[in-house]
């Protein structure tokens, strides 16, 4: 098991032309913690995690692991520091089987023809994939089936398993249960909770308060590129988070409009 990490992002700023996507944002992630990252569309959530994963570079700010400043200029830098991201589109190869996706880019091989040639060790990859997925509580009908034939929840499980195979310290998930049915959503949320058992710090972007309250220990709220609040999950509620996300005046106006409409229905 690798050395687990505490992450700190301090004063992160990023602009695209005249648009200020992030303005001096701070983020802290403790070892083994699940941090919910929420905000309205355009709040800066994806920009922040793309900076952490090396897709973007911050204009200002610093990143620390266990108190030591690190530089993340590209995805390989994030990978070297034990940071992995599960993208919303999963980035799976549909025509390759489960084992092939999990070991993609790090395939197992075996010597052949007197040890001079190496071929892929398909049976070993399938066996290790099966053992690893079952350890995570994931059971698939076949580990040789092409990923394009799996359900949405099964594909998400394979994508998460692929990043977990390298034993990362920090995992970022962008809308991990989007477009999943109730049962598949439950399975993926349970898988996120299992990351805590491995002391892996996890950042989860999700628009659903229900999902955030199911898995998160804390929640960080962004609004128009600024950090507007951080709350322990047991010390907040959806109403407070909504007000932080959109502003108290807008939240109250929407709430009053809903109440008025419900009252008119009853007349």
Strand (E) or helix (H) holding 265 = helix 248-266
254 Cβ neighbours under 8 A, 6+ residues apart: 246
Tokens of 88: 């919303």
Please give the CATH number for the structural domain made up of 1-82+169-236.
Answer: 3.40.50.300
CA angle 42-191-84, nearest 5°? 55
Spell out the domain ranges in the chain.
1-82+169-236, 94-167
Higher pLDDT: 238 or 255? It is 238
Please check whether residue 7 is in contact with residue 203, taking contact to mean a CB–CB distance below 8 angstroms.
no
pLDDT exceeds 80 at position 53: yes
The per-residue pLDDT for 253 is 60
Q: Work out the percent of the chain whose per-residue pLDDT is above 90.
A: 53
The per-residue pLDDT for 1 is 42
Query: At 138, is the pLDDT very low, low, confident or very high (cuts 50, 70, 90)?
Result: confident
The per-residue pLDDT for 8 is 98
Strand (E) or helix (H) holding 13 = strand 7-16
Output the CA torsion 223→71→201→24 (10° steps): -20
For the ranges 51-65, 117-131, 167-181, the one whose mean pLDDT is highest: 51-65
The per-residue pLDDT for 116 is 54
Using one digit for the tens of pLDDT, what is the confidence trace for 172-230?
Answer: 999 988 888 888 888 889 989 989 888 999 999 999 999 999 999 999 999 999 999 99
pLDDT exceeds 90 at position 235: yes
Please check whether residue 152 is in contact with residue 184, taking contact to mean a CB–CB distance below 8 angstroms.
yes
Higher pLDDT: 178 or 35? It is 35
């Amino acid at each position: 098991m690798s050395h687990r990490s505490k992450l700190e992002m301090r004063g992160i700023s990023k602009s695209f032309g005249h648009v200020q996507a992030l303005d001096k944002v701070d983020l802290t992630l403790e070892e083994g913690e699940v941090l919910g990252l929420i905000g309205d569309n355009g709040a800066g959530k994806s920009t922040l995690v793309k900076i952490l994963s090396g897709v973007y570079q911050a204009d200002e700010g610093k990143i620390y692991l266990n108190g030591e400043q690190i530089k993340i200029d590209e995805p390989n830098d994030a990978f070297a520091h034990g940071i992995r991201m599960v993208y919303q589109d999963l980035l799976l190869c549909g025509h390759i089987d489960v084992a092939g996706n999990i070991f993609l880019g790090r395939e197992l091989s075996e010597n052949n023809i007197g040890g001079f040639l190496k071929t892929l060790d398909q049976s070993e990859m399938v066996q290790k994939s099966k053992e690893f997925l079952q350890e995570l509580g994931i059971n698939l009908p076949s580990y040789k089936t092409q990923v394009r034939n799996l359900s949405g929840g099964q594909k998400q499980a394979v994508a998460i398993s692929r990043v977990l195979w390298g034993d990362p310290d920090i995992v970022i998930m962008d809308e991990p249960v989007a477009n999943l049915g109730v049962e598949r959503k439950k399975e993926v949320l349970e898988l996120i909770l299992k990351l805590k058992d491995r002391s892996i710090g996890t950042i989860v972007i999700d628009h659903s308060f229900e999902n955030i309250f199911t898995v998160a220990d804390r929640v960080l709220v962004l609004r128009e590129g600024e950090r507007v609040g951080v709350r322990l999950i047991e010390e907040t509620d959806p109403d407070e988070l909504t007000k932080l996300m959109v502003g108290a005046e807008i939240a109250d106006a929407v709430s009053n409009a809903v109440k008025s409409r419900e009252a008119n229905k009853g007349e």
